[in-house]
Every structure is written in C-alpha cells, then in structure tokens.
Amino acid sequence: MDRRDFIKQASLGLAGAGFIGSSLANMLPAGLTGRKYSSLMAGNMSGRAAPKLETVRIGLIGIGNRGSGAVNRLPRIEGVQITAICDIETDRAEKAKAELDATVHRPRLYSGRADSWKALCDSDDVDLVYICTPWDQHAEQSVYAMEQGKHVGVELPAAKTIDECWQLVETSEKTGQHCMMLGNTCYDFFEMMVMNMAHQGFLGEIVHGEGAYIHDLMDLNFSETYYHDLWRLRENSERNGLLYPPHAIGPMSKLMNINCGDRMDYLVSVSGNDFMMADRARELADENDLWKPFVGKNYRGNMNTTTIRTQKGRTIMIQHDVTSPRPYTRIYLVSGTKGTAQKWPMPARISTSHTGWLDDEAMKELETKYTPEITKRVGDMARQVGGHGGMDTIMDWRLIDCLRNGLPLEIDVYDAALWSAIAPLTEQSVANRSASVDIPDFTRGAWETNKPVMDIQLEQGGTTKII
C-alpha cells in the first residue's frame, strides 16, 4: 500500500469513527502528515468555479517561443490586463515590454535573476500566472504561484515526475486556485467538431482513439539559440519514453470524458533505438565544442508507441517522434461502433462504413450540423488573431471567459496531472521491457461522479469578446 492509499483508507476509517482532521493527523505514522495529508481534506477541483474576475490581470513568465505568441494573443481578449512579464533573458523581456507599452498595457518587468519569477508571483496585481518556461520549471512555478493565491495557466507538460503531478493536484485542492495546462489541441476546429459528434452519439460507442506528436524538430533541438540553454535537447538526451504526450492525449481524453466518467487504467510503452540524434551530436562536436557534452548520451528512441487501456475497456494509441523527416501529424483518429473520424493525412474525413470516407458534400452537411457554438461564435476572429491556425486563441479566450464568468475551467488540474504523468510512466515501461504500468487516479475515485465540463456549445459563458 503506498502513502496515498494508506492516508485515504485511514481518513475514511477515522472519519467514520468521528475523528476530526487534527486527531487523524496525530494518529498517522511519522512521515504521513503535513501537506500531503492536509490536501486530502480539501475540495474536488473538478467543476469548481472561482469568484468572477471582471478584469483578469496576467503575469507572463517566459517570453520565448511560446511566450512571445501569448504576448501577441492575450491583449486581443476583452477583460485582459497584462501587468507583469518575466524572462531570465533581459533583452527578450524588454522587447516584449516595449511591444506592450505601445498599447494600453504597461507591465512591470522582472528579469536578470533565475528566481525573478517569484517576485512576479508575489505581486498583488496578478490574478493569473501564465507560464511558458522550460519543462523542468513548470511544476515548481505553478505550485508557488498557487500558494501565493494565483490561478495558473501552464504550458505543457505541467510536470515531469509523478510526485510533481501530485504536488499540482494537492496544491490546487488546498488553495482553491485553478491550474490549467494550456492544451491548445483540445480547441482545434476538427477536434471540437468530432467531440460534438461523439457526445451526441453520431459515432456510436467510442472504442478506440489514436494521437501523436510527430514533428521534425531535429534542427531546432540542435540550434544554438532556439531553446534557451539547449533545454529541449537535454530532455531528449537524458530520458527515454514518450516525452511529450499532451498534444496527442488531450483531445482524446476530453472526447472520452476521462476523469469524468472513465479513467486511464494502465499503459505499455515501446521505444525503438535512436538512429539520428547521437550521430548529429558527433558530427557537430567535430566542429564546435559546444556539442561535446552531448556526445555519448543515451538519446531517446526515434519512435515511441504507447497504448493505454481505460477502466471502461477503451484503448488509446499515442506516438512520439521529433527527429524523423516525416510530415507533421497528430493522427487524431476516433473509432466508434457507428463511425470513424481521422484528421491526418489531410484533409480530415469521416466514415460511417467500411467502404470508405464520406465525400465532400456529405462532409459539408456534417460540418453544418455538428460545428459547435464555440467555433461559430469566435472561430473566424480566432483564425485572424492566429496561433496554430487559431486554436491557441480559442484556448486563451475560453480560459479568460471562464475566469470572468466564474465558471469551472475546462482543462483542470486533474487533466494537467494525468496528461503530464504519461511521460514518466512511459519511461518506467520502456526501462522494463515494455511492462505494463498502472496509471495513478489523480481524482482519487471522483472520476466516477465528476461531470464533463468542456462546454463547446457555450451553454454557459461565451460573453467575452475578441477585440
């Protein structure tokens, strides 16, 4: 029995005997009290709404590749005030500040020190901390921000270890602050339409899903400037598993109502060899000493394939490959008892029989019937603002809209923990000849009664404008 199972059973037994929290804490063995215990007494964050914020004051941490896009998108959303920005590279932070100073936003600047972000989280004029830093900083910054009474939007993955995933859940429950992982693919246009079709029964009972992150990042990973301090190359040279699961697993989880009616049970994961990255490191090291520390590393396999089984018997296959010279794909395949949808290779298609995909006319009829309200209301403007074709903007817009209307966030801390946990769990499986690995239930059983909250039909909210 692990620590959390012990605490859960002890708390249930003692609660039935009439003990209050302090009595329970005194009776637990040494090492089981403190933050880990107290969080069990806090509320379920699924479906939980925070007080309305007429203006959402945002502090941005990390103004690199993802953060610079947020600087452009967020000011276009009604009710947003960017009050603070932070980056360890002062020139990047100053450039972003200058861009915002030319608008109605006058953010304060935090930079120059590795812990400058803490001062941003401590400030009194920030409601939402928007985190776009390297992966290994996400959990620490998210936890600290929530402890300072701030909501969090964090780039993916939100954590690197299982313990960090639990820290996110426990801190969110303890503080009542939201922690949303910025899963933009959940808000892509075809994915939302297929989700609507699935939830209305058009595809029948959902049996299987597939997703991927197959994206040739070879040159970027070996760029001297693209990733600060070569952080992403370090990730790929020190770990072996499916390192970047949220793009693939996020939309499928929302469609299957994972954490809200079903849960992931266990996974198996297989990685092939690295056929490319070690060779590239050796070639570059012959000409530049910068790359010598990356020679001889145990790079993760070119391709990782992971299969997940849910409690209700559905299966999900996800893949990861960021080195092969393949066209970009997230696959996105949904298979049901009455139909199938698949996005890649383009164009996206629907099928209702084994004879093939529906023709263009039939596809247009389905789009007319099943395009959700969120796309009708803000889709065109989101495409104009941009961000991966507009899905980044829809994601940001809905986050702000929920905070302004006092609505539950559609991607909550349990999603953030679960989707992030896939990476370290696949590392465990790969290291043990693809043995099956149990997937933690971060809801602690609440998945059986939690209600789905991704409201693509905008039955609540949807009042915030894109300017």
Q: Exposed e or buried b for every residue in 357-375, given b needs 16+ CB within 10 A? A: bbeeeeeeebeeebbbbbb
Give the residue ranges of DSSP H helices in 90-161.
90-101, 116-122, 135-147
Largest CA distance in the chain: 71
Per-residue pLDDT band for 157 (boundaries 50, 70, 90) equals very high
Task: Name the strand (E) or helix (H) holding 212.
Answer: strand 206-214
Q: Note the pLDDT of residue 103.
A: 87
Query: Which 8-state DSSP code applies to residue 308?
Result: E
Judged against a pLDDT cut of 60, whether residue 16 lies above it is answered with no
**Residue 372: cis peptide before it, omega within 30 degrees of 0:** no
Question: What does the pLDDT read at residue 113?
Answer: 86
Indicate whether 26 pLDDT > 60: no
pTM score of the predicted model:
0.91
63, 85 Cβ separation under 8 angstroms: yes
CA atoms within 13 A on the CB side of 242: 31
What is the H or E stretch that residue 278 is in? helix 277-285
User: How many of the other CB atoms lie within 10 Å of CB of 156?
Assistant: 22
The pair phi, psi for residue 179, each rounded to 5°, is -135, 100
pLDDT for the residue 248: 97
Query: Which residue, 451, 452, 459, is CA-closest to 377?
Result: 459
pLDDT, one tens digit per residue, over 176-221 is 999 999 999 999 999 999 999 999 999 999 999 999 999 999 999 9
**Regarding the domain delimited by 185-371+413-448, which CATH topology (the fold level of the hierarchy) does it fall under?**
Dihydrodipicolinate Reductase; domain 2 (3.30.360)
Secondary structure of 161-196 as H, E, C letters: CHHHHHHHHHHHHHHCCCEEECCHHHHCHHHHHHHH
Q: Where are the domains of the chain?
A: 3-41, 185-371+413-448
Helix (H) / strand (E) containing 72:
helix 65-73
Contact 64, 228 (CB under 8 A): yes
The 10s digit of each residue's pLDDT in 290-321 is 999 999 999 999 999 999 999 999 999 999 99
Q: Tokens 């203006």 belong to which residue?
A: 55
Q: What 8-state DSSP symbol labels residue 228?
A: G
Distance in angstroms (rounded) separating the CA atoms of residues 424 and 421: 6
The predicted model gives 418-430 an average pLDDT of 98
Mean pLDDT (the chain) is 91
